[in-house]
Structure 1
Amino acid sequence: MKRNRLWMAMAAASLGAAALAGCGQSQDVAPASASGTGTPAPAAPSAVAAPPGSPAATATATATSTGTAVATGTGAAVATGGECTAAQLKASIVTQPGGGAAGSVYRNLVVQNTGSTACTLQGYPGVSYMDAAGKQVGAPAKRNPEAAMTAVVVAPGGSAVAEVQQTNAQNYGDGCELTEVAGVRVYPPNDTASLIAPQSTVGCANAQIVLMTVGTFQPA
C-alpha cells in the first residue's frame, strides 16, 4: 500500500515538472522567407521638361535645330542682307583660262559689291550687248537651264560670278549684221536698274541670233 502511494506521488511530480518545462519554452517564430518581397526602394525621380523660354529649353532647341546653308562670295562671313542692286555693284568680263571652244568663248561675268553692307545674289542676271551710245545690240542672252540655283552672300568688297558663253558673231555671215560692241549691260536678279561691264567686241544687230548664254550667280 505504501509502495503504491509512493509511485503515485512520483508520477504526479513528474507530470508537474513536464508542465513547468512546457511553460518555460518560448514560441517558435517562422523565419522570413528569403524570396519574400521586402520594402521597395524609392523610385528615382523622373526627368522634368524645362519650361519654355528657360536657358535649358533654349539650349536644347538650339542644339537640335538645323539651318539652311548659304554660299558666300569672296569676303568675310557676314549677315545675308537684302538683294544686291545695280547701284552697289561693279561689273567686269573676265575670260576663263582655257575658255575657248569651237566657235565660242567661256567668260565670267564678275560683279563686286562696292557698298558698305552685305547683299545677296540669287539667280540669273539679265545680260545683253550694248554699243558706245548705250543702245542694245541684238538679242539678250539666253539662260543655261543646267546652272545651279544658289544664294550667294556678297560681303562689302567681295564678288560673285556668273558664267557667260559668247559665240563668235562672225560665224553667222551677212545675216548677222556685224555691229561694234562697247560693253555688256547687266541687270541683277529682280532689279530693273542696270550696270555696264566694259567689253570691246562685235555682235549681231539681227535680234534673231542669240550670241550669249548666261548661268546663275555663284561664289567667286
Structure 2
Amino acid sequence: MFFAAGAAGCNDDSSPSAEPAGSSRSADDSTSPAAPIAPGEHAPAGTAAPSTPSAPSASAATSAPATGSGPGRCTTEALTMSLRQGDAGAGQIHYRLTLVNKSSDSCTLTGFPGVSLIRRDGSMIGEPADREGAAGRVTVIRAGDSAEVTLHTLNRGIKGSGCWDRPDYLRVYPPGSREALTLRTSQPLICGGLFRTTAVSG
C-alpha cells in the first residue's frame, strides 16, 4: 500500500517543474508491484524535480491521440510501480519502470514523469532525470494493465566520471501529478553523469 501526501494537479502532458516537499507515496523495492514500507520506517520527505524523455513500451496499455473525452488522467492513488534492470549493451544500462493501474477504471498518462533518487534522510542524490526522446501520445491504461518508462544511465567506468551514491528510494511523479510514488530501492545506480527518462508508453 502507498502513503500519499500533497494534492494532484499539473498538466496532463508534463511532469511538475519541481517536486513538492513531502508529497510521496511509498513502497518496497521489488520487481512486482511494490508493498508497504516496514513499520517504523517513513518515506523521506525531500525536494526534487521532474525528469526526462522518450518512449518505451508496456504490457497492455494502448496509445492514442488526445481527445476531448474519454478516460481521465491516472492519479497517483490509482497507480503502483515496480523497477527492474533491463538489457545492457555498449556501456548503456536501461531500467524498466512499470506503472500499474490498480483502480477499476481506465485512465491516461501523457508525457514524462519526474524521477529522482532520494536518500533515507529525504535529500536528493545528484539531479532529477533529464528527458530523453519525444513526449509521445496519450497512453490509455485499462484497469489492471500497465505502462512503462525507461530509465537510462551508463555502465560503471564509462566516461570516467564515476557513479552517484546508491539511493534508498526512487521518487516518481506521474505526468501531470503533484503527488509522488516512492519505491524503496537501491536502484538505479547512476554512472557517467547520465540519468534520463523516456516518456510514458503503452
Percent identical residues: 29
The Cα RMSD (Å) is 3.0
AA aligned opposite 1:189: P
Deviation beyond 3 Å, 4+ runs, structure 1 = 168-173, 175-178, 201-204
Q: Report Cα offsets for 1:81-123 as digits up to 9, x if no partner.
A: 2111212111111222xx2133331121100011222110111
Residue 177 to residue 107, structure 1, CA distance change in 2 (3 Å): closer
Residue 212 to residue 181, structure 1, CA distance change in 2 (3 Å): same
* 3-state SS in 1 of match to 2:168: strand
Q: Is the 8 A contact 2:154 2:190 kept in 1?
A: no
The structure carrying a bigger helix percent of its residues is: 1
Q: Which residue of 1 aligns with 2:141?
A: 154
Residue 103 to residue 182, structure 1, CA distance change in 2 (3 Å): farther
Q: Which residue of 2 aligns with 1:117?
A: 105
TM-score w.r.t. the length of structure 2 is 0.58
AA aligned opposite 1:213: R
Q: 1:183 aligns with which of 162, 169, 183?
A: 169
Q: Is the 8 A contact 1:105 1:165 kept in 2?
A: yes
Q: Report Cα offsets for 1:19-42 as digits up to 9, x if no partner.
A: xxxxxxxxxxxxxxxxxxxxxxxx
The structure carrying a bigger strand percent of its residues is: 1
Ranked by relative contact order (alpha carbons within 8 Å, sequence separation 6 or more), the top structure is: 2
Larger radius of gyration: 1
- Mapping of 1:81-120 within 5 angstroms? 81-96=71-86, 99-120=87-108
Distance in 2 between the 1:215 and 1:155 partners?
21
Q: Which residue of 2 aligns with 1:18?
A: none
Shift of 1:124: 0.7
Q: Report Cα offsets for 1:30-89 as digits up to 9, x if no partner.
A: xxxxxxxxxxxxxxxxxxxxxxxxxxxxxxxxxxxxxxxxx996279xx94211121211
Matching of residue 218 in structure 1 with residue 185 in structure 2: no
Distance in 2 between the 1:141 and 1:75 partners?
23
**Number of aligned residue pairs:** 139
| Structure 1 unmatched ranges of 5 or more | 1-70
Q: Which residue of 1 aligns with 2:4?
A: none
AA aligned opposite 2:138: A
Shift of 1:177: 7.5
- Which deviates the most, 162-171 or 178-187? 162-171
Residue 163 to residue 203, structure 1, CA distance change in 2 (3 Å): closer
AA aligned opposite 2:131: R
Distance in 2 between the 1:211 and 1:218 partners?
21
Distance in 1 between the 2:81 and 2:121 partners?
18
| Structure 2 unmatched ranges of 5 or more | 1-56, 63-68
Residue 127 to residue 121, structure 1, CA distance change in 2 (3 Å): same
Residue 75 to residue 189, structure 1, CA distance change in 2 (3 Å): closer
Shift of 1:199: 2.8
Distance in 2 between the 1:129 and 1:72 partners?
23
Matching of residue 167 in structure 1 with residue 142 in structure 2: no
